Structure 1
Amino acid sequence: MAALVLGIATIIVIVLRTRLDAFVALLIASLVTGFVAGAPASKVIEYITTGFGTTLSSIGIVIGLGVGLGKILEVSGAADALARTFVRALGKGREPWAMGATGAVVSIPVFCDSGYVIMNPLARSIARVKRAGYVTLALALGCGMTLTHHLVPPTPGPLGVAGILGADLGGLVLAGLAFSVVLLPVVVGYAKWMGPKLESEISTEVREAVYGKAEIPATAARVGGGGADAPVDKASGYDDSPAQPDPAAALGTPPAGAKPHRVGAFTAFLPLLVPLLLIVVNTVATAIDKNSQGEAALKDETKYDPSPVPEALAFIGHPVVALLIGLVLAVYVLLPRWIPRSKVGGWLAEAAASAGLIILITGAGGALGQVLRETGVGDELAETISSWSLPGVLVPFLVASLVRVAQGSGTVAMITAASVSAPLVDGLGISALLAALACCAGSMVFSYFNDSYFWVVTRFTGLDGVAAMRGWSGITTAVWAGSLPLLLIASLFL
């Protein structure tokens, strides 16, 4: 137990108090845990390299492909097209719902930070038209992104958790989407409740950027009233004035004779929808096939002999193949033909660079989990916790929550919780899928000053100090609290 406590404390201290990052912190924590637990030095190194390699063999390629897909959605303008489609579909008076849903969809393949920067002009243009409600829209957009960023693969954090715990990826996609749908009303409800209270707290600079220098009527407390001078898409409230940033500006100027590049809603959704459907269909088909072969096939993978159709679906629905198909679709469907190969290669290289640290952190998390398993720390923790009258699902949930509050990064929190929980799953009496959900949900709690996304949302929203915490820290804590009863209900079925 001392080995575990010192290991987690090492991660927190290094991330908060040194110049080193989470990857190095997890590796040092693995060494500390192994040595305190009494393992020989050579064995500790062996455990670390084995855990690192095993984890990345199952998930490293998938993370790289997922980040590449997100980059193409970003630079092509497809993410913006999805946003405008949601606004049109949900209609006037439901703008917070549109923003929350937009954030949730866009954040599945696109990192929260860049996704929020891309989508924030849409929230501003709607608020400009309505002459009110910017904070409500900004909070709904930001926390909608938080939901799927923390809960739904192929976002890197949940992918890493699935790899460390051995959870079925298709099952995690389905469960994460279900959680996100149920929690979206919490996002919108909190944003609509708190947004009007904070509207007067917006900084002067942001207020003028959103509403102009004209004074906003004091009675405009919520989205839905007033007019505007800016030219807008009447179906959606989207500002198409020249001041609106071009969502596909990264593509550059088209050559002479080429038409301006526009991405339709269906086309924009296709590279994201196809891989998710393939992964889910693989999961469902395999489950049905195993069930038809009896209890032995369900309990023991070695006794399962896949039928021809499920076997074919298992191939194209494997996350590596499915996301590879999605990336190819994105490059050839979303990007115009006049984009040179070198430019596409540059974008994919940028995506690979951004994915690199996530992949290393995920592998280091797997290394820590292997050390906990091999040294017996996991078994000892399981025996200790089993003596408490505490639902097993709360263990990974609380570990993720504590690490999140301590060091800020949701990805590091869920990876650390998965590493600690991996040796405990059987002893806690919970499935790998339920443990993965608990790690992901627990990592959403109380985003504040030590979280980089906190600064992105609050700076763009124009909130500071207590107002920033009431708005952003409050809404992330609300969805965290809302996920707890969902986990307890899910523990009855998963």
Structure 2
Amino acid sequence: MTHLSVEMLAADAAEPITTAGHAQLGIAVLAGIAVIVLLITKFKLHAFLSLIIGSLVLGAVAGAPLDKTVTSFSAGLGTTVAGTGVLIALGAVLGRLLADSGGADQIVDTILAKAGRKAMPWAMVLIAGIVGLPIFFEVGIVLLIPVVLLVAKRGNFSLMRIGIPALAGLSVMHGLIPPHPGPLVAIDAVGANLGVTLALGVVVAIPTAIIAGPVFSRYAARWVDIQPPENLVPERASDDLEKRPGFGITVATVLLPVVMMLAKALVDIVVDNPGHQVQKVFDVIGSPLIALLTAVIVAMFTLGRAAGFTRGRIAATVEKSLGPIAGVLLIVGAGGGFKQTLVDAAVGQMIMDVSKGWHLSALLLAWLIAVTIRLATGSATVATISAAGLVAPLAAEMSTPHAALLVLAIGSGSLFFSHVNDAGFWLVKEYFGMDVGQTLKTWSVMETLISVVGIVCVLLLSLVL
């Protein structure tokens, strides 16, 4: 769901690895997904291995040479681990420092004291929305996971009741609100006004996040009543701490990468000159890698040293944080490999070719194209780029508000039904300790709700603007 430039290159520049026709490609996609689901659910094979085998089946049915299929899978895995994987690792270090220093306890105890049980899901969607405004979805997850898991365990909530609102807040921001990369590309492609798109995006995002978050979490908690996975829940800080970091400094440390990335986004909007020295500086400062790395280093002092940790104990804390996420990294990487195999097989282009014959309103057409590409490739960004490029000519005669709504229709469609070809699916599954079926019934349905509610809001706004 992240790393726009890489996915654009993969989607637009790479030569297809197969010359299969549309029907054969469609069968190949279904076969690859079916094999993955069957191996995991029926034969209990590890998701990492299942994704590798599913990618090979996809390539074989599509008639792609085995070496090219392997190359595509490896490239996708490498890109995902190099980008998202590093962020997950840095987030795990920050989460462990939060937990061991008592900082996470301080945040959770304060939230539980200030918000009642009924208000907790609403508090989580609000927090996630604020945190997710300037940052990538995966970064938001790794920042919020320690808090989500601790709130669920300490407050004796079903994990879905707390986790779904947090995921909804992050996902809505990612798909609909600039300065996230998908909306920005769509705005540029259709010539929409950034300010108008941002304003209308907030109007669409609020009811969408409420319905897919706190409201849907009631049902998700009934369908999948699980507790936080013990191996990922931060333990309560030990009693030998000299003191716990204060609430203010702890929150400031967690929000530091958010502020750094938001600063970059604001500079991009105000300066809008890639060659300008100020923008170059903030491109570095606000990159997810540098922002999270900075937060980790700062946390060693504001959390670790504040709790009386020695250098040796800080080093031990960092080392302990990386072991539990090894499996998560491999599975998320393999999900990226499967997605890249789909992209390199030109599945997205197939969808675009087929959709040219559809006769629908521009807004609904844009949404359906994005939905179809999202289902086929698993990438929200590839879906956004492809759909925006295809429907851009339709925006030429649109009013300013309707061009902005076209961007939001594309963004809504790009979030539809995340499943096994989306690295984000595996990220949520592993962090929340769910199986494939549980993840489909909660995370995937939540993403579908966001997409459907989003396009309904867009169509309603189109009637009054």
TM-score range, shorter chain: 0.5 to 0.7
Structure 1 match to 2:29: 4
1:121 and 1:22 mapped to 2: Cα distance?
A: 26
**For each residue in 1:209-231, what CA deviation from the matched residue of structure 2 results, as whole angstroms up to 9, or x when unmatched?**
xxxxxxxxxxxxxxxxxxxxxxx
How far is 1:349 from its partner? 3.1
2:444 and 2:337 mapped to 1: Cα distance?
A: 29
Q: Indicate the larger mover: 311-320 or 45-54.
A: 45-54
Structure 1 match to 2:79: 54
Residue pair 2:257, 2:291 contacting (<8 A) in 1 also:
yes
How far is 1:338 from its partner? 3.1
How far is 1:78 from its partner? 2.5
Question: Are residues 1:268 and 2:258 paired?
Answer: no
Question: Are residues 1:120 and 2:152 paired?
Answer: yes
How many aligned positions are there?
A: 379
**For each residue in 1:121-164, what CA deviation from the matched residue of structure 2 results, as whole angstroms up to 9, or x when unmatched?**
6535xxxxxxxxx88xx8653433333565678xxxxxxx989x
Question: Are residues 1:353 and 2:323 paired?
Answer: yes
Letter in 2 for 1:146: L
Residue pair 1:104, 1:144 contacting (<8 A) in 2 also:
no
Letter in 2 for 1:326: A
Q: Indicate the larger mover: 22-31 or 265-274.
A: 22-31
Structure 2 match to 1:232: none
In the TM superposition, what are the counterparts of 1:33-432 in structure 2 within 5 Å?
Answer: 33-86=58-111, 94=119, 97-98=122-123, 101=126, 108-110=140-142, 115-120=147-152, 122-123=154-155, 140-148=161-169, 182-183=207-208, 185-186=210-211, 190=215, 249-254=236-241, 258=242, 261-290=243-272, 304=274, 306-335=275-304, 336-388=306-358, 389=360, 391-394=365-368, 397=371, 416-418=378-380, 421=383, 424-425=386-387, 429=391
Local SS of the residue matching 1:442 = coil
Local SS of the residue matching 2:245 = coil
2:205 and 2:321 mapped to 1: Cα distance?
A: 25
Q: Any unmatched runs of 5+ in structure 2?
A: 1-24, 132-138, 175-179, 188-193, 228-233, 393-405, 420-424
Residue pair 2:162, 2:217 contacting (<8 A) in 1 also:
no
Are the structure 2 counterparts of residues 378 and 117 from structure 1 closer, same or farther at C-alpha, using a change threshold of 3 Å? Answer: closer
Higher helix share: 2
Are the structure 2 counterparts of residues 475 and 374 from structure 1 closer, same or farther at C-alpha, using a change threshold of 3 Å? Answer: closer
Letter in 2 for 1:327: V
How far is 1:62 from its partner? 2.0
**For each residue in 1:428-479, what CA deviation from the matched residue of structure 2 results, as whole angstroms up to 9, or x when unmatched?**
54899987775556349xx9xx9688888xxxxxxxxxxx9xxx96899578
1:113 and 1:318 mapped to 2: Cα distance?
A: 21
Are the structure 2 counterparts of residues 315 and 420 from structure 1 closer, same or farther at C-alpha, using a change threshold of 3 Å? Answer: closer
How far is 1:281 from its partner? 1.7
2:454 and 2:373 mapped to 1: Cα distance?
A: 18
Are the structure 2 counterparts of residues 47 and 101 from structure 1 closer, same or farther at C-alpha, using a change threshold of 3 Å? Answer: closer
Q: Indicate the larger mover: 26-35 or 103-112.
A: 103-112
Computing the radius of gyration from Cα coordinates, the structure with the larger value is: 1
Identify which of 417, 430, 440 aligns with 1:442: 417
Letter in 2 for 1:270: A
1:90 and 1:333 mapped to 2: Cα distance?
A: 26
How far is 1:10 from its partner? 1.9
How far is 1:278 from its partner? 1.0
Letter in 1 for 2:292: L
Q: Indicate the larger mover: 324-333 or 67-76.
A: 67-76
Aligned-residue CA RMSD in angstroms?
A: 5.2
Are the structure 2 counterparts of residues 92 and 194 from structure 1 closer, same or farther at C-alpha, using a change threshold of 3 Å? Answer: closer
Are the structure 2 counterparts of residues 481 and 439 from structure 1 closer, same or farther at C-alpha, using a change threshold of 3 Å? Answer: same
Are the structure 2 counterparts of residues 184 and 11 from structure 1 closer, same or farther at C-alpha, using a change threshold of 3 Å? Answer: same
How far is 1:312 from its partner? 0.8
1:475 and 1:28 mapped to 2: Cα distance?
A: 24
Are the structure 2 counterparts of residues 6 and 320 from structure 1 closer, same or farther at C-alpha, using a change threshold of 3 Å? Answer: same
Percent pairwise identity: 24
Q: Indicate the larger mover: 338-347 or 5-14.
A: 338-347
How far is 1:28 from its partner? 1.8
How far is 1:14 from its partner? 1.8
Identify which of 450, 453, 457 aligns with 1:485: 453
TM-score normalised to structure 1 length: 0.59
Residue pair 2:249, 2:302 contacting (<8 A) in 1 also:
yes
2:344 and 2:207 mapped to 1: Cα distance?
A: 38
Residue pair 2:388, 2:410 contacting (<8 A) in 1 also:
no
1:441 and 1:68 mapped to 2: Cα distance?
A: 31
1:8 and 1:377 mapped to 2: Cα distance?
A: 13
1:354 and 1:150 mapped to 2: Cα distance?
A: 25
Residue pair 1:109, 1:272 contacting (<8 A) in 2 also:
no
Are the structure 2 counterparts of residues 112 and 473 from structure 1 closer, same or farther at C-alpha, using a change threshold of 3 Å? Answer: farther
Structure 1 match to 2:190: none
Q: Any unmatched runs of 5+ in structure 1?
A: 125-133, 154-160, 207-246, 294-303, 404-414, 457-467
How far is 1:274 from its partner? 1.2
TM-score normalised to structure 2 length: 0.62
Letter in 1 for 2:354: T
2:218 and 2:126 mapped to 1: Cα distance?
A: 18
How far is 1:7 from its partner? 1.6
1:87 and 1:275 mapped to 2: Cα distance?
A: 24
